[in-house]
Amino acid sequence: MIEPSTVVARADLELITLAQQGDRQAFGELVRRYRERVIGIVYRMCGDMQLAEDAAQEAFVRAWQQLPRYQPHAPFQSWLYRIALNRATDVLRADRETANVEDLPLVAPDIGPEAAAERNALHEQIRRAVLDLPEASRSVLILREYEGLSYKEIAETLSIPLGTVMSRLNYARGRLREWLSPWLEEKV
Amino acid sequence: MSEHVQRELEAYYDGQLHGTQQKRVATHLETCAECCAELTRLERLSALLQEAPVPAARLAPERFTTQVRLQLQPRDVPERRRHHWAIPALLVGAWSFMEAVWLVSRGLMVALALGLGERPEMAWFNPNRGTSLWQLLQGMESGWQGALSLFSFLSSTLLSTLLPLVLLGSISILFWGWWLAWRPHEIKNGNR
Ligand SMILES: [Zn+2]
């Protein structure tokens, strides 16, 4: 399990300070560092890679605009994730029909077509199960299961109480266990 | 056997329990198969969720970063520096106000000179109450009284001419002072 640090790494902080003063190169370095995680979160939220990349770019542009108001005592990661999640929510609102089943992930070439089909079916099932969760519990689940954030960090990111983090996570896991039960039992 | 720990199990699994709470759950798990099975289910769900990968991004990392950078607008001047612009803005505002007052008063004087002031409703405004320099000079002949009114006329004229000059001068001195003191900072920060 990953336990990301709650404090902003020193180098990050320097880049943030420079970026706050208008240094685009420093901000570019921050984009490079957080790109993958931000895209990942947005992808898990909306289930479409193209949308996710566009929304992630917009999230970074928004972060640049809002950076002067960022206070370094709050974790930068939480602050950035919040912007990304808000952007993902906007995208979902604007494009409800994107949750349909297309755009399957590429199949690894070294497995047979049957195994590939099976694996794709599993990936798809998981993706859809996550997407079928209500947005509120989906974001908590993504931050916990895929980003490894602590409850406290999730609470900060989403501006919700710790108890709400726990109840939403419990709800999300309960639903997923129900929906994905064939795959969970199979492995016994 | 101690009480089941279903309620705390999830937080325990997520590594969010500490101290005695954490110890209590751990101790319970040593002896309770039921709670152990529940813990295993949580582990299994996490493992299953990890099997769905994020597909490869369309854009290479460098391309993505470049595209973001191209969309970055030069940022507004941060609040810390914004009020430095208030100084010249205030000075320019004061200067414009002075200019406006000066223009209006000149305009009124011209109007008065053209005889508009002779209208009864405007008469109160005429600062010289119908006296002209010529009349005052003539009044010199009538001794002290005339000299006094000449003196008051000259001093008020001097004051009304000099006062705006002094104010405008100090405004421009302050403005150029700001320019010399702050412009280098602004230029340096703006070029980043
Ligand atoms: Zn038990």
Distance between Cα B2 and ligand 1 center (Å): 8
Task: Please indicate, yes or no, whether residues A181 and A168 belong to a single structural domain of this protein.
Answer: yes
Residue scoring higher pLDDT (A51 or A109): A51
- The chain B residue lying nearest A188, using CA atoms, is B44
Task: Please indicate, yes or no, whether residues A4 and A62 belong to a single structural domain of this protein.
Answer: yes
**Residues in chain A closer than 8 A to B52 (CB atoms):** 122-123, 126-127, 130
**Residues in chain A closer than 8 A to B44 (CB atoms):** 184, 187
Task: Please indicate, yes or no, whether residues B95 and B142 belong to a single structural domain of this protein.
Answer: yes
pLDDT in tens, A62-92: 999 999 999 988 899 999 999 999 999 999 8
- The chain B residue lying nearest A153, using CA atoms, is B16
- The chain B residue lying nearest A3, using CA atoms, is B15
The whole-chain average pLDDT of chain B stands at 79
Instruction: Decide if B123 is inside a domain.
Output: yes
pLDDT in tens, B108-163: 888 888 876 555 555 455 555 555 666 666 666 666 777 777 788 788 878 877 87
Task: Please indicate, yes or no, whether residues A12 and A49 belong to a single structural domain of this protein.
Answer: yes
Task: Please indicate, yes or no, whether residues A126 and A79 belong to a single structural domain of this protein.
Answer: no
- Final residue before a domain boundary, out of A101, A121, A153: A101
pLDDT above 60: residue B40: yes
Task: Please indicate, yes or no, whether residues A84 and A134 belong to a single structural domain of this protein.
Answer: no
Q: Is A53 in contact with B189 (Cβ distance < 8 A)?
A: no
**What pLDDT is recorded for position B135?**
64
d(CA A171, CA A179): 12
Q: Is A166 in contact with B10 (Cβ distance < 8 A)?
A: yes
Contact A42, A98 (CB under 8 A): no
Residues in A 124-153 with any Cβ partner in B closer than 8 A: 126-127, 130, 144-146, 150-151
d(CA B160, CA B30): 97
Task: Please indicate, yes or no, whether residues A44 and A109 belong to a single structural domain of this protein.
Answer: no
pLDDT band, very low/low/confident/very high, at A94 (cuts 50, 70, 90): confident
Q: What would the 3-class secondary structure string for A72-138 be?
A: CCCCHHHHHHHHHHHHHHHHHHHCHHHHCCCCCCCCCCCCCHHHHHHHHHHHHHHHHHHHHCCHHHH
**What pLDDT is recorded for position B186?**
58
Facing residue for B74 by CB, picked from A22, A31, A146: A22
Instruction: Decide if B71 is inside a domain.
Output: no
Task: Please indicate, yes or no, whether residues B26 and B103 belong to a single structural domain of this protein.
Answer: no
* Number of domains into which chain A is organized: 2
Task: Please indicate, yes or no, whether residues B184 and B108 belong to a single structural domain of this protein.
Answer: yes
Q: Is A50 in contact with B58 (Cβ distance < 8 A)?
A: yes
d(CA B55, CA A163): 33
CATH for A49: 1.10.1740.10
Task: Please indicate, yes or no, whether residues B181 and B97 belong to a single structural domain of this protein.
Answer: yes
**What pLDDT is recorded for position A1?**
43
The nearest CA of chain B is from the CA of A23 a distance in Å of 6
pLDDT band, very low/low/confident/very high, at B190 (cuts 50, 70, 90): very low
Task: Please indicate, yes or no, whether residues B51 and B146 belong to a single structural domain of this protein.
Answer: no
Domain that includes residue A27, residue range: 1-101
The question of ipTM being above 0.90 is answered as no
**What pLDDT is recorded for position B120?**
52
**Is residue A167 less than 8 Å (CB to CB) from chain B?**
no
**What pLDDT is recorded for position B141?**
64
Domain that includes residue B171, residue range: 84-191
Task: Please indicate, yes or no, whether residues B173 and B131 belong to a single structural domain of this protein.
Answer: yes
Task: Please indicate, yes or no, whether residues B51 and B90 belong to a single structural domain of this protein.
Answer: no
**Is residue A64 less than 8 Å (CB to CB) from chain B?**
yes
Facing residue for A22 by CB, picked from B56, B61, B189: B189
Contact B67, A57 (CB under 8 A): yes
Task: Please indicate, yes or no, whether residues B27 and B95 belong to a single structural domain of this protein.
Answer: no
Rounded to the nearest 10 degrees, the angle between the axes of helix A10-20 and helix A24-46 is 110
Task: Please indicate, yes or no, whether residues B28 and B114 belong to a single structural domain of this protein.
Answer: no
Contact B85, B175 (CB under 8 A): no
Task: Please indicate, yes or no, whether residues A31 and A57 belong to a single structural domain of this protein.
Answer: yes
Task: Please indicate, yes or no, whether residues B121 and B176 belong to a single structural domain of this protein.
Answer: yes
CATH for A179: 1.10.10.10
Contact A140, A165 (CB under 8 A): yes
Distance between Cα A178 and ligand 1 center (Å): 21
Facing residue for A1 by CB, picked from B15, B73, B79: B15
The nearest CA of chain A is from the CA of B192 a distance in Å of 6
**What pLDDT is recorded for position B106?**
83
* Number of domains into which chain B is organized: 2
Distance between Cα A184 and ligand 1 center (Å): 21
Q: Is B52 in contact with A127 (Cβ distance < 8 A)?
A: yes
- Final residue before a domain boundary, out of A70, A101, A132: A101
> CA-CA distances (angstroms) from residue B83 to A117, B46, B79?
63, 52, 7
**What pLDDT is recorded for position A23?**
93
Instruction: Decide if B75 is inside a domain.
Output: no
- Nearest alpha carbon to residue B76 among A71, A64, A27: A64
